[in-house]
Structure 1
Amino acid sequence: MSAEQHAPNKRQRELLDKHLELVIEENKVTNLTRIVDWESAQVLHVEDSLAGLPEVEEALEGPYLDMGSGAGFPGIPLAIMTGRETLLADSVGKKTRALDLFAAELGIDDIVSTYHGRIEDLALQQPNHFSLVTARALSSLASLLELASPLLTKGGRLVCYKTHSESEELEHAREIARKLGMEFVSSRGFTLSDGETSRAIIVFRKRCNPSMKLPRRVGMAQKKPF
């Protein structure tokens, strides 16, 4: 698809802007983001979130999970653009309460809900449930693969937003993906419209059940990744 086909329509643009307005206002009382300048936030939050739309739209139909959603990027913009049933997960209660407020104010709380807790606990509650999982600047690829695998349906996609693509990190992730029941799909690097911010979208797909029991104990994926 061309960039024009992925561009938001008028209503979607209004919702994207309103979400950003809500984030900047809520940030005065809840620490959601360090980027509060409107123009910078449009690029580094909204544009960045929408950059993964081509990969997201190739995912199977079904529920979508945004891990470590924070202020709702990329989860809320992607929900606005795709209309998917969306779950925004974060371990910080103040953030999930803000996300509930944003969804209600935007009128998308019929498709967007939140989960306050750890991803490992969610995997025990809703195993093999999601056809799409995203993670934006959250953790190493190895950790993200481990966290996402027990949550994804067979054929489901993990779409990782990275600030850069380290060849060693990606190579390691590709090596351990098979043990986790995952396989590498694609990696795409690009520069945002400010002309200086580099990003990468890295995609893995679930091919089968992992060869070990997942999830491990809370925190193990980050503290002692495979």
Structure 2
Amino acid sequence: MAQELMGQYLDLILEANKTTNLTRITSRDEALVLHIEDSLVGLEEVSEAPDGLYGDLGSGGGFPGVPLALATGRETVLVDSVKKKMAIVQQAVNQLGLGRQITTCSDRIEDLALDRPGSFSVLTARALSRLVALLELSSPLLVKGGRLVCYKAQLSDEEMREARAVEDLLGMRLVSQRETTLSDGETRRTIVVFEKVGKAKLKLPRRIGAAQKTPLKPRS
């Protein structure tokens, strides 16, 4: 049933994509790999997070959020500041009768953290930003013990070092890192998981855009 709904959702998004830019992928076969299969790469890590609310940051066309919501049954919030995208995604979700389980939010992540601090048990972020920024944006949203599951196409040692240098400052801790290749034989994914272990040692969220424009550095 969940797999069938994923396919139906994908078809609705590909149809809407003909008039609104939701994804660069237009082929259904390619989308099955790069949207559905790719979304489910992190299913194991999302399932290991504590029970509770799931949020997909920078959700775009609803990936990986919708497939993961269907696979886990979690109450889900898809977060993306592009209102037009979120309106189309919500329409597709409602059309499939999933509106009670899956809702959309077109606030900026920093504003969501002010409205719903400590509300999420698990967050995902696929190709959204550098790890150091994702840790900062996620920390105020997560409950203690909550998990951030990051999908990365390429993860450099430098990017990981940046994140590890500020994890303590943000009350976060690296839990796991896993690499895999999709069934096309060429698309590589690294799944990196951080856990919220305590309160951040600075006031969060900072102003909108600060996490990306002026990334945190360790305090000397």
With the length of structure 1 as denominator, give the TM-score of the two structures. Answer: 0.94
Deviation digits for residues 129-149 of structure 1, max 9, x if unmatched?
Answer: 100011000000000000000
Please list every run of 5 or more consecutive structure 1 residues that lacks an aligned counterpart in the other structure. Answer: 1-10
State the match for 2:140 in structure 1: 150
CA distance in 2, matches of 1:50, 1:144: 20
State the match for 2:22 in structure 1: 32
CA distance in 1, matches of 2:204, 2:165: 18
1:213-224 map, 5 Å? 213-224=203-214
Query: In the alignment, residue 64 of structure 1 is paired with which amino acid?
Result: Y
Q: CA RMSD in A?
A: 0.7
CA distance in 2, matches of 1:36, 1:60: 35
Percent identity, please: 56
1:140-179 map, 5 Å? 140-179=130-169
State the match for 2:8 in structure 1: 18
Displacement, 1:107? 1.4
Hey, which bits of structure 1, 4+ residues long, moved more than 3 A?
none
How many residues matched? 216
Displacement, 1:175? 1.6
State the match for 2:35 in structure 1: 45
State the match for 1:99 in structure 2: 89
Specify the SS of the correspondent of 2:63: coil
Correspondence for 2:187 among 197, 201, 204: 197
Displacement, 1:104? 0.6
1:56-205 map, 5 Å? 56-205=46-195
Specify the SS of the correspondent of 2:48: coil
Asked if structure 1 preserves the Cα contact closer than 8 Å seen for 2:13 and 2:89, the reply is no
CA distance in 1, matches of 2:77, 2:129: 19
Deviation digits for residues 72-108 of structure 1, max 9, x if unmatched?
Answer: 0000000100110100011011011011111112211
Specify the SS of the correspondent of 2:207: coil
CA distance in 1, matches of 2:65, 2:108: 17
Query: In the alignment, residue 86 of structure 1 is paired with which amino acid?
Result: T
Displacement, 1:165? 2.0
With the length of structure 2 as denominator, give the TM-score of the two structures. Answer: 0.97
Displacement, 1:166? 1.3
Query: In the alignment, residue 50 of structure 2 is paired with which amino acid?
Result: L
CA distance in 1, matches of 2:130, 2:121: 21
CA distance in 2, matches of 1:128, 1:45: 29
Specify the SS of the correspondent of 1:150: coil
